[in-house]
Chain A
Amino acid sequence: MNQVSELATIDRDGAVARLTLNRPDARNALSLDLLAALRARVAELAKTPDVTVCVIEGAGKAFCAGMDLRAVLDEPGAPEKLLSEIAELTLELRALPMTTVAKVRGGAIGGGCGLMCVCDISITHPEAKIGFPEVDLGVCPAVVAPWLALRVGHGQARRILLEGGTMTGRRAAEIGLVSTVVEEGELDTRAQALSERLAGAGPEALRATKTWLNKLESGPDGGDLAEMVRSGARLSASVVTSEEARTRLRQMFAGSGPR
């Protein structure tokens, strides 16, 4: 087991920081420990004014496989805790003053796709697996719905969440869920070029623009965004703990074998 602090790491290269989800053996699934580590790293970034751009990526084969429900499914109070941590992480990540870029290799699923939506810009490759398969598992993606709606609009968000399943990176770019799609072999160099381009902009102009965009953002219906994300987390938690969801999740865990 990694130390909590090693589950999320930061490297600096001038004005560009790289935040890595470092739980590759679990495809960077969001466990309570990983969420705690990410929140700590995001808090550090919030206090690092000379970083202009933050690239977020996953160690290993996938960006992020979503919530790690396996360990907590039968532990009273744990799903609620997990979802509330995700809500807070997304709010803190959005509030960062630097421009955030999600570099998605392999897949961004469920809560992982939610993290991608919270970032300002995202880049992936055509074969990546992207989406919100929550409803297929009897789970309700309420906590990420506000972020998805801000990213792709209400109509598209409705279709994506009710349809469930996943889509390719190519399709995700077509519908605006991802900003850019490049061949997998070029992902590193293109993400590097993107972050250098961003870092070349006036740091104050970039920061002022991002802060302004955040300020414009009330909840998608004009209400309070933070309250909507938090109550979404409570709804997601109540559905996760329902019998319908537990039955489906147990079947899925039984089928996938030990990690």
Chain B
Amino acid sequence: MIRIEHIETPGGMVALAMIDRREKRNALTPDMLANLRDCAVRLREESHSTGPDGVRAVAIGGEGDVFCSGFDLSMCRDDDLAMGALLTRLSETVRAFRRLPIPVVIGVQGGAIAGGCALLGGADFVVVNADAKLGYPVVRLGVSPAVASPLLVRAVGAGRARERLLDPGLIDGREAARIGLAHECVPDSDGVRPRMMEIATALAVKPPHAIRATKLWLNHVDGTGRDDEFDEALQASLSLCGSEEERERLAALWKG
């Protein structure tokens, strides 16, 4: 459900990670998130090679009409531990991509909802189509999107992060690009993947040593190289797991 390809480009390898569970609008399971996280760990090794096999940039996309619709909530129906596992794997995955010493580009077509929107925190560049839907509508379900807050605050500023995490409404791709949740907006969803690859290919040409030093320094400057804030944000989300409100609201989903 997570597929990795290595694509040769003039500057070196671009790794393309595709989320492919299109029949479920790429809804994430703990295993898929663990696969993505492990993929980041492997790519870190592969980025060290200075030869032509060295990975110089990463692109992450989703197959089908929607980049990612969030957690697969059906996992939580019979498993009390599933939500905690999803939140924990999400936090690990996003940190692992954020800390890669090479640029990460994500392409969002259709939508990036809840956990899918939180994945964007792991990217340095986000391309989105104008009508895509983005946001964190999980407070409705008694779930807190606090886990996404450290990187959302860096992307859009503290004031806008408040709006996005507390308001379960969604915004479109144009608005996402305007506030900094995405960096570039293309008119059609078909244009997302080519543009994502174009950006990754252009970044792969840059001198690897300078890119590595700059990216890791940016993580130091904005504090995302450290774990403390991520750990606290994850705990804030985990603290609601199994609460009465969450159980009632999730149960209401299955009743329809």
Contact = CB atoms under 8 A, between A and B. Distances in A.
Nearest to A228: B221
Contact of A159 (B124, B209, B210): B124
B221 A154 contact: yes
A163 interface: yes
Given A222-B223, A239-B213, A157 B218 contact: yes
Interface in A133-162: 134-142, 145-146, 149, 153-159, 161-162
Contacts of A222: 223
B222 A248 contact: no
B211 interface: yes
B217 A232 contact: yes
Contact of B180 (A155, A219, A232): A155
B222 A140 contact: no
B155 interface: yes
Given A161-B214, A219-B221, A221-B222, A245 B207 contact: yes
Nearest to A139: B210
Interface centre among B155, B183, B218 (most CB of A within 10 A): B218
Contacts of B221: 145-146, 149, 154, 157, 219-221, 228, 232
B205 to A, nearest CB: 9
A162 B154 contact: no
A245 B209 contact: yes
B210 A239 contact: yes
Nearest to A232: B217
B116 interface: no
B162 interface: no
Contacts of A157: 218, 221
B103 interface: yes
Contacts of A228: 221
Contacts of B223: 220-223
Contacts of A136: 206-207
Contacts of A162: 103, 124-125, 203, 206, 211, 214-215, 218
Given A239-B210, A242-B209, A159 B125 contact: yes
A32 B225 CA distance: 33
B156 interface: yes
B187 interface: no
Interface in B206-250: 206-211, 213-215, 217-218, 220-223
Contact of B207 (A135, A141, A145, A232): A135
Interface centre among A137, A155, A157, A239 (most CB of B within 10 A): A155
Contacts of B180: 153, 155-156
A222 B223 CA distance: 8
Contact of B211 (A135, A145, A220, A248): A135
A201 B204 CA distance: 49
A186 interface: no
Contacts of B207: 135-138, 244-245, 248
B155 A140 contact: no
Given A138-B207, A220-B222, A228-B221, A155 B155 contact: yes
Interface string B145-188: 00000000011110000000000000000000000100100000
A177 B221 CA distance: 18
A140 B213 contact: yes
Nearest to A134: B210
Contacts of A26: none
A148 to B, nearest CB: 9
Contacts of B124: 158-159, 162
Contacts of B154: 153-155
A248 B205 CA distance: 13
A244 B155 contact: no
Given A145-B214, A154-B221, A159-B125, 20 more contacts: A135-B206, A135-B210, A138-B209, A138-B210, A140-B214, A145-B218, A153-B154, A153-B155, A153-B157, A153-B180, A161-B218, A162-B103, A162-B203, A162-B218, A220-B222, A221-B220, A221-B221, A228-B221, A232-B221, A239-B213
Interface of B: 103, 124-125, 154-157, 180, 183, 203, 206-211, 213-215, 217-218, 220-223
7 contacts: A140-B213, A154-B218, A155-B183, A220-B221, A221-B221, A221-B222, A245-B207
